[in-house]
Every structure is written in structure tokens, then in C-alpha cells.
Structure 1
Amino acid sequence: MNLTLSWQSFAVLSAVFAAMTAILAKVGVAHMNSNMATLIRTVVILMVTALIISARSEWQKPSGGSWVGWTCLLASGVTTGLSWLCYFRALQLGPVSVVAPVDKLSVALVIVSGWLILGEPFTLKGAIGGALVVIGSLVLIL
């Protein structure tokens, strides 16, 4: 059986796993240094990803791409790590029911960045959706 999921399916799964991550991380950092918790999470992600790549026989020598692509991937890794460190510290200090939605302000930032940096279309639907995310986060933190 060939199971092919759409980008929408993967996006929904991402949201489900992100919600589970927030709850599990909140419990996990309750009595542990948040930076150590982030390291543990990172090692687990590395192992799970290596298992998936192994199971699918997708190991390959990294080649090709431009220096811009490689630089962006490396910078993405740095920003991911910084995001996780901040997220885990926020979870340690604040309620998960507020921290996780505020973290999702990234949605509005990505909508604007996609338009300004990547030249993606800026639609009324996107503007309204982004504004609602911002309003929802503001309602939670004020």
C-alpha cells in the first residue's frame, strides 16, 4: 500500500504533535534545567530522524545546493535551537496554555516574511488569518 499524504495532512499532524510537545515539555521541564531539557529533546530528535532515514534507506552524501542554501540551512538550525531554548524556558516559567499560543505568533511573522522576503502573495485571507493569530495571542497575554 502506497500511503501518500498531502502537505495539509502533514501540517495537521505537525500541529497535533506540537500540541503534544507543549504538554509533555511542560511536565518534563518542571524539575529540570530548561537548557538541559532542550539538549535531551534535541538528541531524541536526532535519533528518531536517523531511525526514519535508516528505515526508508534515505542516507546519502550531502551534496549539491548553493552556498546560499547551505548557509540558510545552517542558520535555520541555529534559529531552531534558539527558539527551542527560549520555548522551554518560557514553558518552565509560564502556563503552557499561554506560552504555546504566544509561540504561534510565528505564524503571523511567517506570513509577513513570506510576502516581504520570498515574494509570496499577500492575500486578504492571509492578512485576516495573521491578524487573528496576533489578536488571539494578545488576548491571552494581556
Structure 2
Amino acid sequence: MWIVFALSAALAAATVVTLSKAGIKHVDSSLAFAIQSVLIVVVSWTVVIAQGNLPDLARIERRVWIYLLIAGVLTCVSSLLSFRALKLGNASQVSPLTNFSLVFSIILAAVFLKEKLSWQVIAGAVMMAAGALTIALAKG
């Protein structure tokens, strides 16, 4: 089932890139991100409340809070940078480079989470990186 969720997330992300690029043509990229962020907050807290997970907030450990807060700041930084890149470049070239995060995620997971890397994962990451660079640098 995780594959269905992952592919659905990928499709949603691709749609976000397309809609965001269309939306920032006449709007500052930071302002566009701020508008979307308000909706992200409203929708995410609505889901938490609807699922009955609000009481779990009090049970989160301090260390987990630190991880989540740092990840939240980095999510904002990543999105602001992505929006700026979309404002300046073509979506078809920006998106592959922002999805280079896959390669970085594999490296960070191996180093910090001690995840084992198979030759297939390494080969796939190399091919993903090559593909992303090929698309991003293509003349067109």
C-alpha cells in the first residue's frame, strides 16, 4: 500500500509544481508560498483533529519536537527556494533538480540513520541523478 501512497504523493507534487508555476507568473514567489502555507496549516490541522490525534500532541518527547521543528524550518526553506527557482526557470527543468532530493535522502539516510544501501539503490540513485541533470540541462 505504501507504493500507492508514494505514487499518489508524486502525482500531487507534480501537479503542485505545475499550478505553482502558473500562479507565480505575476506574483512574488515568497508571497505565493505564504498563501499556500496558510492552506497547508489549515488542512493539516483539520486532518489531525478529524483523526482524533490532537491529544497525542502532549505526548511528544522533547527530542522529537526538536527533530520536527528543524524539519519544519527546512521544509519552509526548501519550499521558498523551490518557488524562487520556479519563478526564474522552467518547471520542466526545475522539477528534476528539486527531485534530486532523492539522491540526497539516500546519502543522508545511510550516514545518519545507518540504513544499508544495496547496489541496486546506489545504481538507481546514480541513474536518477544522471536523468535529472540530463533533463535540467537540456536545451528546449
Is TM (by shorter chain) over 0.5?
Answer: yes
Report the equivalent of 1:128.
Answer: 123
Report the equivalent of 2:61.
Answer: 66
Q: CA deviation at 1:61?
A: 5.0
Q: Distance in 1 between matches of 2:107 and 2:56?
A: 35
Matched, 1:110 2:101: no
Q: CA deviation at 1:66?
A: 3.4
Matched, 1:7 2:23: no
Q: Distance in 1 between matches of 2:38 and 2:136?
A: 32
Contact 2:96 2:132 in 1 (8 A): yes
Residue ranges of structure 2 left out of the alignment (5+ in a row): none
Structure with greater proportional helix content:
2
* RMSD, aligned CA: 1.3
Report the equivalent of 1:137.
Answer: 132
- Partner SS state of residue 117, structure 2: coil
Query: 1:87-114: per-residue Cα shift (whole Å, max 9, x none)?
Result: 0010011000010111000000001111
Q: CA deviation at 1:59?
A: 2.1
Report the equivalent of 2:72.
Answer: 77
Please point out which of 30, 37, 41 is paired with 2:36.
Answer: 41
Q: Distance in 1 between matches of 2:92 and 2:45?
A: 32
Query: 1:113-133: per-residue Cα shift (whole Å, max 9, x none)?
Result: 111110111111110111111
Q: Distance in 2 between matches of 1:56 and 1:81?
A: 25
Percent identity at matched positions?
Answer: 31
- Given residue 82 of structure 1, which amino acid in structure 2 is its aligned partner? V
Q: Distance in 1 between matches of 2:59 and 2:44?
A: 21
TM-score normalised according to structure 1 size: 0.90
Q: Distance in 2 between matches of 1:117 and 1:57?
A: 32
Cα distance change of structure 1 residues 11 and 74 upon mapping to structure 2, 3 Å threshold: same
TM-score normalised according to structure 2 size: 0.91
Q: Distance in 2 between matches of 1:39 and 1:116?
A: 33
